[in-house]
Structure 1
Amino acid sequence: MSGPVVKRGAAPGADAMHVPVAIIGAGACGLTAALRLAAAGIETVLIERDATPSGSSALSSGFIPAAGSAVQRAAGIEDDAQRFAADIQAKAHGTASPELVAAYTGAAAAAMDALAAHGLAFEVLDGFLYPGHTARRMHTLPERTGAALVAALERAATGAGAYLLTRALARELWVDDAGRITAVGCERPDGSVDVIGCDALILACNGFGGNAAMVREHLPAMREAVYGGHAGNDGSAIGWGAQLGARLADLGGYQGHGSWATPQGALISWAVMMDGGVQINRDGRRFHDETHGYSEAAVHVLAQPGSVAWNVFDDRTLALARGFPDFVEAEAGQARKTCADVPELAALIGCDPHTLRQTLDAVGPETPDPLGRRFERTLQAPYHAIKVTGALFHTQGGLDIDAQCRVLDQDGRAFPNLLAAGGAARGVSGNDVSGYLSGNGLLSAVAGGHIAAATAAALLGRSLEQGV
């Protein structure tokens, strides 16, 4: 069996294994939806291709933006959904779907509170603001990793009664004459196929960052970039949607990252830039305003000689960065180099010392920056440097959905029982890399999963309590 397939008619064996709600993908989106449904007593099965839930969520930093949650209020942070929505649209230059922006920012706090009620001990990230955010609203577990987030969600969802079927690669969707999804065919490691009947299906599976042909077609700027996402992002959701006649949206949107340590292949937190660090190319010059965002920075870095740059920062920023496990792992891999002075740093980069001195002398609160950045301080020797390149992390376009996460056909009508969120659906970043606001991926996953669960329950004639 190869590629996503839509089949019509009665699915063989679907009556033998049938659940009210099937969810393809056990990342943050699928697990959030499954937890909410299972907690309400609705039988749900998660169909997961890997032996252990992972996906893009586990590869992320695990930071979920939400405005107005209980933990945010307890921290004394003034914020609300309207302010959050304005930040998203400002980053996307007003091109993000207004309905989805309103739905996700409106649901995010309730989603976080519901997860907290199931034992996920969130705190609000302190110390700096990610580009484009006007309030501290990044929610993180103490471990500060996406892997810890997915593991905690899995424990909560299965503990609430959701079924998790691993090593099951969803390949087939069965649809009847009325356009209802009736079953999912899952390929098992031995080549056999399990058919699971369902009354409603949530696609929480993937984007297309791992599909080289689709990346070349839709994201030409990333065609030669390192892919830092999950191999399961093969575009299956889009493949099924195309066969069903679904509408697609924002396929040019994606999350890049301009701080992928090379050759270590590790993510370097953008906190390094926001705390005063700079990116310098092989000529010893800065080339963009680093505070605009790490997503579009991927394109800027790839445009430099050799498609590389150096993150340069000082001891103060090093102390901050060591609070992020990803950075600590990269440091253990010898990604960070330390230079006592400018000549030593220039030798490391391979640039002219005089040019580098001019670049660093221009970094400070007293010097106007031709690139438009406002610096609050100067960098102090010794200097730390990490060689980085630009990478593609995950896509932000996919199946078009409404505010209830219902998949829409070419005429804008909702399919009877097909829902999508997270990487399977369009996000809230518009149609370009520059529209990605930090955390938009997990916002779509967690808020989208929360909303999709309520919609699936409504399709079954059930309602969910607000706190579930």
Structure 2
Amino acid sequence: MNEPQRTVRRAAKVEAEVHVPVAIVGGGACGLTAALMLADTGVNCVVLERDALPNGSTALSSGFIPAPGTRTQREHGVAGDSAGRFAADIQAKAHGRAAPALVEAYAGAIGPALDALQARHGLEWMLLDGFLYPGHSVHRMHSLPQKTGAALMAALLAAVEAAGIPVLTQAVVDTLVLDDQDRVIGIDYLRPDGRRETLGCDALLLACNGFGGNPKMVRTLLPEMGEAAFGGHVGNDGSAILWGTALGARLRDLGGYQGHGSWVTPQGALMSWAVMMEGGVQLNCEGRRFHDETQGYSEAAVHVLAQPGGIAWNVFDTPLLALARGFPDFCEAEAAGALRRCDSVAALAECIGCEAPVLQATLDAMRDGAAPDGRVFARGLEAPYFAVKVTGALFHTQGGLDTAPDMRVLRQDGTPLPNLLAAGGAAGGVSGDAVWGYLSGNGLLSAVAGGYIAARTAAALVGHKEASA
């Protein structure tokens, strides 16, 4: 892949046939949420999307969003959760290295954002209350009934269409146009036939995700993931970082990312980590466990890649198979032939390619209750055993443009650019600067909460401009 050309040009004005109050670059969960919230306030916007159909990283995710204090949470009788408790969980997972102001902003905004999407745009949330995801102290993970990111994108797109919001697809934005006061006044973009077009705007939101699809950036900034499978969207080419660098904007937490230690191979599908949390284990080709699986699926990617061949086996039994089959991603992987049934320890050892006595000792240690790494098992696994071959993968990056809590992009000196905003994967997230800082759901948290906050900021900026015109 060639390095994308993302530039900034200066002009006193733009020659554009169309001018909108707010332009949004990127039609994933972040951009579409922002567009819906702007429509609710009566502010017109246009979403520009590089693909023929908006999908992005959201469609490739599980579509799960953590949020405290929602209507859905209350209806399920979940008590004691709050933005403060959620913020504490985020910081605990990041070892205190997440940006405090952003943690507070996202934790406070995500509940109202989900409630607004439900009340005004028909997204009917359900609460995943059968188990706790790593790092969460209470059940707060929300999903649409289909439990897929593709369903989330379809619902957002349907809402955008119903609201009459224009989404310009196959529009590759490559240039930001700013005046001499650092105010964005337009954007240049390419059409499929090679034509270049310009759109004028009063405010711009970059919602174009991170750099996981840019191999050169990944090898430079995330060397441990340089050769890992990429489970995200190839359009995550680092555009926001390239524009920010050209503008002299400040960058943050470029070493942060979401990995996943359960990327089914060779099928290339995601297996839910719920199986690990409820008693499943990861074994290497020697038949040994090699980390505490309950610490999180993001850092598990690094642990798995460190094993011989970068391979591990997810091993579980019949009750856990029933749990796994509640997730569409697993069902797709099973249909593709990923699931192996083994009726005995000897058969499981043959499947993995390890010595049966070593494997037996691993399984026996689970029955003892507490493993040397500190993980506590409520029970051991019982035959028949089931195994799925997995590797570690990179899903999306968590570093990017540094922003104020209102999503305005910051200069190197910490002052905000007048009307340039960034959210979701384009901005630095709340996972700190390392893989282990990622709390389950942080990606869609920053996308949806960030889009919600950015819309309020953009609406205020545009309103102020109109009032002073």
TM-score (norm 2): 0.97
For 1:53, give the aligned amino acid: P
Question: Which of 128, 132, 135 is residue 125 of structure 1 equivalent to?
Answer: 128
- Greater than 6 Å deviation, 4+ residue runs: none
Structure 1 residue aligned with 2:263: 260
Identify unmatched segments of 5+ residues in structure 2: none
SS in 2 for 1:210: coil
1:273 is the counterpart of 2:276: yes
Question: Which of 441, 445, 448 is residue 446 of structure 1 equivalent to?
Answer: 448
Structure 1 residue aligned with 2:92: 90
Query: In 2, distance between residues paired with 1:28 and 1:266?
Result: 21
Structure 2 residue aligned with 1:147: 150
For 2:134, give the aligned amino acid: P
Higher mean C-alpha displacement, 281-290 vs 159-168: 159-168
Quote how far apart the aligned CAs of 1:126 are. 2.1
Structure 1 residue aligned with 2:170: 167
Structure 2 residue aligned with 1:422: 424
Question: Which of 297, 316, 319 is residue 319 of structure 2 equivalent to?
Answer: 316
Does the aligned pair in 1 maintain the 2:10–2:177 contact within 8 Å? yes
Does the aligned pair in 1 maintain the 2:176–2:184 contact within 8 Å? yes
Structure 2 residue aligned with 1:113: 115
Question: Which of 215, 225, 229 is residue 226 of structure 1 equivalent to?
Answer: 229
For 1:121, give the aligned amino acid: E
For 2:433, give the aligned amino acid: N
The within-5 A match list for 1:59-70 is: 59-70=60-71
Query: In 1, distance between residues paired with 2:55 and 2:15?
Result: 29
Quote how far apart the aligned CAs of 1:38 are. 1.1
Query: In 2, distance between residues paired with 1:281 and 1:306?
Result: 9
1:136 is the counterpart of 2:130: no
Query: In 2, distance between residues paired with 1:326 and 1:237?
Result: 30
After superposition, what is the alpha-carbon deviation per residue over 1:253-295, rounded to whole angstroms, capped at 9, x for unaligned? 0000000011000000101101100000001100000000000
Does the aligned pair in 2 maintain the 1:20–1:42 contact within 8 Å? yes
Does the aligned pair in 1 maintain the 2:369–2:378 contact within 8 Å? no
1:360 is the counterpart of 2:357: no
1:191 is the counterpart of 2:219: no
Query: In 1, distance between residues paired with 2:4 and 2:373?
Result: 48
SS in 1 for 2:366: coil
Distance 1:281 1:11, change over 3 A: farther
The within-5 A match list for 1:177-216 is: 177-216=180-219
1:345 is the counterpart of 2:348: yes
Structure 2 residue aligned with 1:39: 40
Query: In 1, distance between residues paired with 2:441 and 2:124?
Result: 18
Query: In 2, distance between residues paired with 1:100 and 1:157?
Result: 27
Question: Which of 455, 459, 462 is residue 460 of structure 1 equivalent to?
Answer: 462
Does the aligned pair in 2 maintain the 1:35–1:158 contact within 8 Å? no
For 2:18, give the aligned amino acid: M
SS in 2 for 1:402: coil
Distance 1:84 1:2, change over 3 A: closer
Structure 2 residue aligned with 1:466: none
Structure 2 residue aligned with 1:408: 410
Structure 1 residue aligned with 2:434: 432
Does the aligned pair in 1 maintain the 2:12–2:180 contact within 8 Å? no
Query: In 2, distance between residues paired with 1:367 and 1:80?
Result: 33
Does the aligned pair in 2 maintain the 1:11–1:195 contact within 8 Å? no
Query: In 2, distance between residues paired with 1:204 and 1:294?
Result: 25
Query: In 2, distance between residues paired with 1:373 and 1:163?
Result: 51
For 1:47, give the aligned amino acid: L
1:18 is the counterpart of 2:36: no
Does the aligned pair in 1 maintain the 2:13–2:179 contact within 8 Å? no
Structure 2 residue aligned with 1:295: 298
Does the aligned pair in 2 maintain the 1:25–1:47 contact within 8 Å? yes
Query: In 2, distance between residues paired with 1:35 and 1:90?
Result: 32
For 2:150, give the aligned amino acid: A
Structure 2 residue aligned with 1:330: 333
Does the aligned pair in 1 maintain the 2:14–2:185 contact within 8 Å? no
Query: In 2, distance between residues paired with 1:192 and 1:301?
Result: 46
Quote how far apart the aligned CAs of 1:430 are. 0.1
For 1:413, give the aligned amino acid: T
Query: In 1, distance between residues paired with 2:37 and 2:464?
Result: 12
Task: Among all aligned residue pairs of Structure 1 and Structure 2, give the percentage whose two residues are the same amino acid.
Answer: 65
Does the aligned pair in 2 maintain the 1:173–1:184 contact within 8 Å? yes
Does the aligned pair in 2 maintain the 1:39–1:161 contact within 8 Å? no
Quote how far apart the aligned CAs of 1:11 are. 5.8
Query: In 2, distance between residues paired with 1:367 and 1:53?
Result: 47
Query: In 1, distance between residues paired with 2:118 and 2:209?
Result: 25
Question: Which of 102, 105, 108 is residue 104 of structure 2 equivalent to?
Answer: 102
Question: Which of 372, 375, 378 is residue 373 of structure 1 equivalent to?
Answer: 375
Query: In 2, distance between residues paired with 1:94 and 1:266?
Result: 32
Query: In 2, distance between residues paired with 1:236 and 1:217?
Result: 16
Does the aligned pair in 1 maintain the 2:287–2:358 contact within 8 Å? yes
Question: Which of 373, 385, 388 is residue 387 of structure 2 equivalent to?
Answer: 385
Query: In 1, distance between residues paired with 2:462 and 2:88?
Result: 34
SS in 2 for 1:363: helix
Query: In 1, distance between residues paired with 2:330 and 2:13?
Result: 48
RMSD, aligned CA: 1.2
Does the aligned pair in 2 maintain the 1:10–1:174 contact within 8 Å? no
Question: Which of 237, 243, 249 is residue 252 of structure 2 equivalent to?
Answer: 249
Query: In 1, distance between residues paired with 2:442 and 2:126?
Result: 18
Quote how far apart the aligned CAs of 1:43 are. 0.7
Quote how far apart the aligned CAs of 1:158 are. 2.6
Identify unmatched segments of 5+ residues in structure 1: 464-468
TM-score (norm 1): 0.97
